[in-house]
Amino acid sequence: MELHSYINSKCPVGVPHSHCSGKPTNRTGCVLCAPYNIYMGKCDNYFRTHRVFLEEEKKYILNRCLDFYPIYIPPEIREIIIGFADTIVHILLDIRLDGAGIDHMMSCHICSHKFISWLDGHSCSDHVLPRIRDYTVDDLNIDNMTI
């Protein structure tokens, strides 16, 4: 699937938008007409987890400490305790203009507004894309509002 079709198939979270072509401009570069690997930044919500296991020497020391515990601890419970000693690290990933990056940026409340604004400014008017909706007084329909 082409990049602009993939973007158009998604709806950004928390952004009032409409799927339409852009306003004609004299923009010379379109990121969708000539796609290349674009770095979009980092987000605290876009990461992968990595589990750091306890080293063998530290496991041995922990087992020796549990040997001197006043109550007998069975091996199964010891493994659970050692499992809690492992740490989980979140590694922030670079967000790129690809399928995984677009999925994140469209579903993240932090990234969706920034991405749609950026996309509107860096794409030509030939593509039908989600664009931030410009509200006018007629769109609000103030006459029919109830308070």
pLDDT tens-place values along the chain, 147 residues long:
678 788 878 888 888 887 777 776 656 678 888 767 788 889 999 999 999 998 999 999 998 988 888 889 899 999 998 888 888 999 999 998 888 888 998 899 888 888 888 888 888 877 788 887 765 544 444 454 444
> Do 63 and 5 sit in the same domain of this protein?
no
Specify the pTM: 0.66
Q: Give CA–CA dist 3/11, Å, rounded.
A: 14
Q: How buried is residue 14: exposed, middle or buried, by Cβ count under 10 Å (0-12/13-18/19+)? A: exposed
> Do 142 and 80 sit in the same domain of this protein?
no
Query: How many residues are listed for the chain in this entry?
Result: 147
Which residue range(s) make up the domain with 144? Answer: 1-46+96-147
Residue type for position 117: S
**Two structure tokens written together for 132:** 């931030």
> Do 42 and 102 sit in the same domain of this protein?
yes
> Do 34 and 1 sit in the same domain of this protein?
yes
Q: What is the largest CA-CA distance in the chain?
A: 79
Q: Give CA–CA dist 121/142, Å, rounded.
A: 30
**Two structure tokens written together for 143:** 């006459």
> Do 62 and 108 sit in the same domain of this protein?
no
> Do 83 and 109 sit in the same domain of this protein?
no
> Do 78 and 147 sit in the same domain of this protein?
no
> Do 112 and 134 sit in the same domain of this protein?
yes
Q: Is 14 left (phi over 0), alpha (psi -120 to 50) or beta?
A: left
> Do 30 and 74 sit in the same domain of this protein?
no
> Do 72 and 113 sit in the same domain of this protein?
no
Nearest to 129 by CA among 5, 39, 1, 23: 5
> Do 118 and 135 sit in the same domain of this protein?
yes
> Do 66 and 128 sit in the same domain of this protein?
no
**Two structure tokens written together for 38:** 């674009």
How far is residue 26 from each of residues 117, 121, 125, measured CA to CA in Å? 18, 11, 10
Q: How many domains does the chain have?
A: 2
